[in-house]
Amino acid sequence: MKDPRQALLFALEKYPERILTLPIEKLLMDSARGNDKRSAYVKLAVPDDMVKSLRGSADKSKDVFLLVSIPKEVRERSESSIILPGEV
């Protein structure tokens, strides 16, 4: 995949109803901050279909799963009724 952001933008524009969004905090089973002995990690409970797609054979075409971060400021702007120049 060349640029996963382009695939995401295309999907959001053309097929928004087919995108599955799962807030991580609702799926979180376990997490730990990183230290000198190991990396930070999160353990998530996800639907079985996602696991099957991730673990499928390497030669098959698979769904793309992305971890997307939306900065707090951007989320707040999305919820605001005020439209700023450049957001039209």
Compute, in degrees rounded to 10, the torsion defined by CA atoms 34, 39, 43, 48.
160
Q: Choose among 22, 11, 18, 16: nearest CA to 47.
A: 22
pLDDT top residue among 15 and 54: 15
Kindly tell me if the per-residue pLDDT of 59 is higher than 70: no
Return the amino acid letter for 22. L
pLDDT > 90 in the chain, percent: 36
Start-to-end C-alpha separation, the chain:
30
Mean residue pLDDT across the chain:
86
pLDDT top residue among 6 and 58: 6
Q: What is the pLDDT of residues 11-25, one digit of tens each?
A: 999 999 999 888 899
Q: What is the mean pLDDT of residues 54-80?
A: 80
Q: Specify whether the CB–CB gap between 33 and 40 falls below 8 A.
A: yes
**Banded pLDDT at 65 (limits 50, 70, 90):** confident
